[in-house]
Amino acid sequence: MALRESEALFRNMADHAPVMVWVTDETGYSTYVSQSWYDFSGQKEGTALGFGWLDVIHPDERELARKRFLEFNEKRQPFSIDYRFRRRDGVYCWGIDAGKPRFSADGQFKGYIGSVMDISDRKRMEEQLRIFECIVATTQDMMALIDQNYTYQIVNDAYARNFQRAKEEIIGKSFVEIVGEEFMDTIQPHLDRCLQGEEVRYETWFDLGEEQRYYHALYSPYREANKGVTSAVVNIHDITQIKESEQKLYYQAHHDTLTNLPNRMLMNTRLEQSIQQATRKGDKLAVVFIDLDRFKNINDSLGHRAGDSLLEQLAQRLCQQRRKSDTVARISGDEFVVILEDIKDTQHAGMVVGKLMRTFEEPFIIEGRTIKMTSSMGLSLFPDDGTDVATLLRNADAAMYRAKEDGRNTYCFYRKEMTSTVFEYMLLENALREALKKKEFYLLYQPQIEMLSHRCLGIEALLRWHHPELGVVSPAQFIPIAEQSGLIQEIGTWVLTTACRQAKIWLEQKLDFGRIAVNVAAPQIQHGDFIQVVENVLKTTGLPAAYLELELTEGLLMKQTEQNIKQLEKLQGMGIKLTIDDFGIGYSSLNYLKRLPIDKLKIDQSFIRDLPHDTNDTAISQAVIALGYALNLQIIAEGVENEEQAAFLKEKGCHQAQGYFFSQPIPPQQVSALFA
């Protein structure tokens, strides 16, 4: 009676146990299998007895499981076997089958008792761990686990190789022993933040004897259950090649390839910095605009190679004459700009420019010929003649032209009468205010052509103003006045509305014109309601946002407020494409480009005009195209006027182009005819 009760109790416990229980006799024959086995496997009750349980073992492992089980049974040893067995739903999962021999009181072997447990989750984790360990072992990234005592717990092969040690020499050592005391001030604050629970990313460098390597570091806190952060998982990725490429690309984008002097882009940045410094210190500075006299004669008579040689020699001479604080830049063909800092007064500026003039006293030796050259120079002073980059350059340029008018081979200081008077400005501003009311503005449209397929991918809307007395007024003349006076908001909205309305008409005519490109000035973007203006225009005209492209001036890049960036991101999120217009003549830098949500760069026509003969324009165009590819941006060139320019741009990988070679700006009716 007691034996039956004991057996019943055992069966009840086994049937409700979290594992599947089984019992065999001395021959290996299963005499009992718990109910949980039948519930899990779906076998009918009783069918697992004997060797029926083998039916649910995976076919690939069934015979091996039977063989091993009988071997252990014969040896009467404990065992543990992993195999796959079929669940009730037909899916095979991993289980661990563990058994222990049973003996009677007098030592006689009675069989086995054991259990089967589903270990699918454990197997899955083991496989994931195996894959992870393989990745860690083979990755080129340096990886380590560092505890709260700054002691290495784990390092991978790449980490050990970087410090030229075996892994065993690093594990158990302190961070400072391996990295070096000199780097602790830089690295430890980041490590401390991670060990306090913060994920940390930063860039750093190490001096590895003969070379300097750059790295991107990611520190992730490792948390253990009920213990919090116990370690930092360190991942260090070598970005030396990326840094070197960035530096090379930055240098090419900011320097003249012929002379290695700063180009217009870098000169603008340097001048902005000099203005800020002079403002803080209350100093003066001078901008000197240098233009070679009759340089075209050298190119025409001796060829471009001779002209390039002269420019290289001149660049060297100017650099030898400049002071350490000054900047010498080549901004176009034969035009140079020198920024003179720490200028006391006009007399001091004149003395420094006198030294620059003397660089032309000694003849230049070009291909064995002795060439005598002169130059005309114009000066503008900060803050007397302007307090911003554009004004100082414009006024120095005006002074240079006065020097040419005065007979060349001299320099001239800027005077206010050299430019338009305030009265003329006011007249033009008042005329602008009336232009919208009197419908004096109109738009022309210029196709943007894909270089490979010659398909029209877009059409740029170009603003024109026909004044009843002044005639056609150049946008270069009235747009700056519109921006300064605040009229650009109203004019810009009119342009956007008119262009979108026309694009909607083309859509209804089923013209495959791509997108309508509309120029937008920086003040428009910075205006608080610009997004609403765009949304209202699209809603009013019915033009889908995907057919609109906005061309932004480079000046916007220097004003990267969070508001500007958010506005651009929202525009892009609406499906509108964004282009940087006249790229290369303003303030662009890689940092600015990387932050802004931009889709396309437009190469300014000033760099296209002399292609492919001007080496500087050639290099700049190629650099902009390379920059576009590096940043995954589309590239379009404006001002393409002949087949030679188009062929050069196509060969270098420029995606799109526009200009008189393809089509001059035309009225909307002629655009429709293009697709007829």
pLDDT tens readout for residues 243-275: 888 888 888 889 999 999 999 999 999 999 999
Q: What is the pLDDT of residues 575-594, one digit of tens each?
A: 999 998 877 655 455 656 77
Q: Could you give the CA distance from residue 75 to residue 68 in angstroms, rounded to a whole number?
A: 11
For residue 386, the model assigns a pLDDT of 93
Task: Name the residue with higher pLDDT: 516 or 425.
Answer: 516
Kindly give, in sequence order, each residue whose CB lies less than 8 Å from that of residue 141, ignoring residues fewer than 6 positions away: 158, 235, 236, 237, 238
Q: First and final CA of the chain: distance in angstroms?
A: 105
Q: What is the pLDDT of residues 121-131, one digit of tens each?
A: 888 777 765 76
Q: What is the pLDDT of residues 169-205, one digit of tens each?
A: 999 999 888 888 877 788 889 999 999 999 999 988 7
For residue 584, the model assigns a pLDDT of 63
**pLDDT of 108 over the 80 cut:** yes
Q: How confident is the model at residue 19 (pLDDT cuts 50, 70, 90)?
A: confident
Mean pLDDT value across residues 25-31: 89
Mean pLDDT value across residues 590-607: 81
User: What phi and psi, each to the nearest 5 degrees, are found at residue 529?
Assistant: -105, 20
For residue 113, the model assigns a pLDDT of 92
Q: Are the CB atoms for 667 and 674 separated by under 8 Å?
A: no
Q: Could you give the CA distance from residue 376 to residue 382 in angstroms, rounded to a whole number?
A: 20
SS3 469: coil
Fold of 2-124: Beta-Lactamase (3.30.450)
The three-state (H, E, C) secondary structure of 608-628, written as one string = CCCCCCCHHHHHHHHHHHHHH
- Calculate the alpha carbon distances from 581 to 296, 497, 635 in Å: 29, 20, 11
Q: How confident is the model at residue 541 (pLDDT cuts 50, 70, 90)?
A: very high
The residues facing 304 across adjacent strands are none
Q: Are the CB atoms for 552 and 581 separated by under 8 Å?
A: yes
How is residue 342 written in tokens? 């720490």
Q: What is the pLDDT of residues 133-172, one digit of tens each?
A: 666 666 788 888 899 999 998 888 888 888 889 989 999 9
Kindly give, in sequence order, each residue whose CB lies less than 8 Å from that of residue 380, ignoring residues fewer than 6 positions away: 286, 287, 289, 386, 391, 392, 393, 395, 396, 399, 413, 414
Asked if omega into 468 is within 30° of 0 (cis), the reply is no
Output the average pLDDT for the chain: 87
- Parallel, antiparallel or unpaired: strands 577-583 and 369-371: unpaired
Q: What is the CATH number of domain 439-674?
A: 3.20.20.450
Q: Could you give the CA distance from residue 492 to residue 464 in angstroms, rounded to a whole number?
A: 12
For residue 449, the model assigns a pLDDT of 94
Q: Could you give the CA distance from residue 205 to residue 220 in angstroms, rounded to a whole number?
A: 19
Q: Are the CB atoms for 339 and 274 separated by under 8 Å?
A: yes
Judged by phi (left if over 0) then psi (alpha if -120 to 50, else beta), residue 407 lies in left
Q: Could you give the CA distance from residue 659 to residue 601 in angstroms, rounded to a whole number?
A: 16
Q: Are the CB atoms for 286 and 356 separated by under 8 Å?
A: no
Which CATH superfamily does the domain covering 139-238 fall into?
Answer: PAS domain (3.30.450.20)
CB atoms within 10 A of CB 99: 22
How is residue 434 written in tokens? 């009336």
Q: How confident is the model at residue 422 (pLDDT cuts 50, 70, 90)?
A: very low
Considering only CA atoms, give the Rg of the chain: 39
Which CATH superfamily does the domain covering 255-419 fall into?
Answer: Reverse transcriptase/Diguanylate cyclase domain (3.30.70.270)
For residue 613, the model assigns a pLDDT of 87
For residue 533, the model assigns a pLDDT of 94
Mean pLDDT value across residues 370-396: 93
Q: Do domains 139-238 and 439-674 have the same CATH topology?
A: no
Cα dihedral across residues 519, 525, 531, 533: positive or negative: negative
Q: Are the CB atoms for 667 and 444 separated by under 8 Å?
A: yes
**pLDDT of 666 over the 90 cut:** yes
Mean pLDDT value across residues 202-230: 83
Q: What is the pLDDT of residues 487-534, one digit of tens each?
A: 888 999 999 999 999 999 999 999 999 999 999 988 888 777 889 999
**Amino acid code (one letter) for 671:** V
For residue 1, the model assigns a pLDDT of 44
- DSSP string for 495-563: HHHHHHHHHHHHHHTT----EEEEEE-HHHHHSTTHHHHHHHHHHHHT--GGGEEEEE-GGGGG---HH
Q: Are the CB atoms for 583 and 556 separated by under 8 Å?
A: no
**pLDDT of 426 over the 70 cut:** no
Q: Could you give the CA distance from residue 622 to residue 321 in angstroms, rounded to a whole number?
A: 31
Mean pLDDT value across residues 273-296: 93
How is residue 86 written in tokens? 């079929």
Q: Are the CB atoms for 217 and 191 separated by under 8 Å?
A: no
Cα dihedral across residues 524, 527, 532, 536: positive or negative: negative
For residue 176, the model assigns a pLDDT of 87
Per-domain boundaries in the chain: 2-124, 139-238, 255-419, 439-674
**pLDDT of 396 over the 50 cut:** yes
**pLDDT of 301 over the 60 cut:** yes
Q: Could you give the CA distance from residue 507 to residue 509 in angstroms, rounded to a whole number?
A: 5
**pLDDT of 296 over the 60 cut:** yes
The residues facing 423 across adjacent strands are none
For residue 3, the model assigns a pLDDT of 46
